[in-house]
Copies of this chain bind each other. A is one copy, B any other.
Amino acid sequence: MTTKRIGVLTGGGDCPGLNPVLVGVVRKSIGLDYEVVGILKGWLGMIENVTTPLTRDKVSGILPRGGTILRTSRTNPYKDPEHIKKVKANFKAMGLDALIAVGGDDTLSVAYRLYEEEGLPTIGVPKTIDNDLSGTDRTFGFDTAINIATEAIDRLHTTAESHNRVLVIELMGRHAGWITLYAGLAGGADVILIPEVEVSIEEVCRIISERHGRGRDFSIVAVSEGANLGEGTVLQTDKVDDFGHVRLGGIGERLSKEIEQRTGFETRFVVLGHLQRGGTPSAYDRYLGLRFGMTAVELVEQGKFGTMVSLRGNDFVPTPLKDAVSLTSTVDPKLYERMKVFFG
């Protein structure tokens, strides 16, 4: 066994579980007598050579903390050929034997190209709060996000009921509706709207009205930020000014106004936004993070570069980065269709 020097960076948006990944990387490395170099602010740190040694002490006590002690950025070195040169030079200057990149599609694509085109020994750890990576059964951050969103829906329920109101909650998900589907079901939402399936505003109002007709005079609507109400639908409440522009609020706000106008039921909305990304990770996300991090180091040990850690059933296995970055996982419309028994 030779000792190794491993670099690790976290890129892209905040996600509960990043610190546990770092704990996993460091603790497994100590077990193998490897050294770990923390690269700050994602790929930016590789370009600018800004690092900090990650020791046992450095990662002590960070498990319950949201965010990432390495900071993050959305810098993509492939936007500038000079940056790629610097990444390669700094990889050498840092004396690295391997680089673990923790991030989403963007971050992992860079890791893949560095491996494929530049021959750098990279390993990926998938991070997407939206759970929309096809290469793995689950990603960390998702469980925390659905817990926060479900708790929010629980809170809104009591207000909706006391006031006989419709409450619309806008959740994350531009292209994939997983958070909205899971949290919407778990929170008992009466209508769930996701990007993958077009549902008309008429249909939404019909479900709510039928429900009220059964004497349940309050409703909850869970809607993804990227929900599909039909391409080019102009709602009655969209204001068109003299120049023909439609003045848009977010989908939550627009939907709320439209439901109120069409059904006559008092309607309010909440946009959960960044609250879904921060704070202490759930137990499962911490576990996933630890396991993803330690497995990444095991893949380094085994020389399985160009791969990403992925969860299959209860096992953590390598998947080629190539596959991982090319396929996103979205909600199957058939699954959505089956879940409609919970609407209304």
Which residues of A does B touch, CB under 8 Å? 10, 13-14, 18, 20, 23, 27-28, 30-31, 60-61, 63-68, 71-73, 137, 143, 146-152, 154-159, 161-164, 167, 182-183, 185-188, 216, 241-242, 247, 268-271, 273-275, 277-280, 282-284, 286-287, 290, 294, 312-314, 338, 340-342
Contact A158 B65 (CB under 8 A): yes
Q: Is the CB of B275 within 8 A of A137?
A: no
CB contact under 8 A between A187 and B275, given known A14-B163, A28-B341, A294-B341: no
A13–B20 Cα distance when bound, in Å, is 30
CA distance A161 to B269 in the complex (A): 28
| Given known contacts A149-B283, A161-B67, A167 and B274 CB-to-CB distance under 8 angstroms | yes
> What's the Cα separation between A293 and B300 when bound, in Å?
42
- Most chain B CB neighbours (cut-off 10 Å) among A10, A65, A283, A341: A283
Tell me which of B10, B68, B278, B312 contacts A157 (CB under 8 A): B278
- Given known contacts A270-B275, A275-B155, A275-B270, A162 and B63 CB-to-CB distance under 8 angstroms: no
Q: A60's closest neighbor in chain B, by CB?
A: B216
Q: Which residues of B contact A242 (CB under 8 A)?
A: 242
CA distance A186 to B101 in the complex (A): 22
Q: A284-B284, A286-B150, A341-B31 are in contact. Are A155 and B278 (CB under 8 A)?
A: yes
A338: which B residues are within 8 A, CB to CB? 294
Q: Are A64 and B147 in contact (CB under 8 A)?
A: no
Docked Cα-Cα span, A313 to B20, in Å, equals: 23
Inter-chain contacts of A60 with B (CB < 8 A): 216
Q: How far is the CB of A154 from chain B (nearest CB, A)?
A: 5
8 Å CB contact of A63 from B28, B155, B188, B341: B188
Which residues of the other chain, B, contact A313 by a CB distance below 8 angstroms?
137, 312-313
Given contacts A137-B314, A186-B287, A187-B63, contact A162 B71 (CB under 8 A): yes
Of A31, A148, A161, most buried by chain B (CB within 10 Å of CB) is A161
Cα(A163)–Cα(B10), bound, Å? 11
When distances are taken between beta carbons in the complex, the residues of chain B under 8 Å from A216 are 60
Q: In the complex, are the beta carbons of A274 and B283 less than 8 A apart?
A: no
> Can you identify 18 A-B contacts, CB atoms within 8 angstroms?
A14-B158, A14-B162, A18-B162, A27-B342, A31-B340, A63-B186, A64-B157, A64-B188, A67-B157, A71-B161, A143-B143, A150-B286, A155-B274, A158-B278, A158-B279, A185-B286, A270-B271, A282-B282
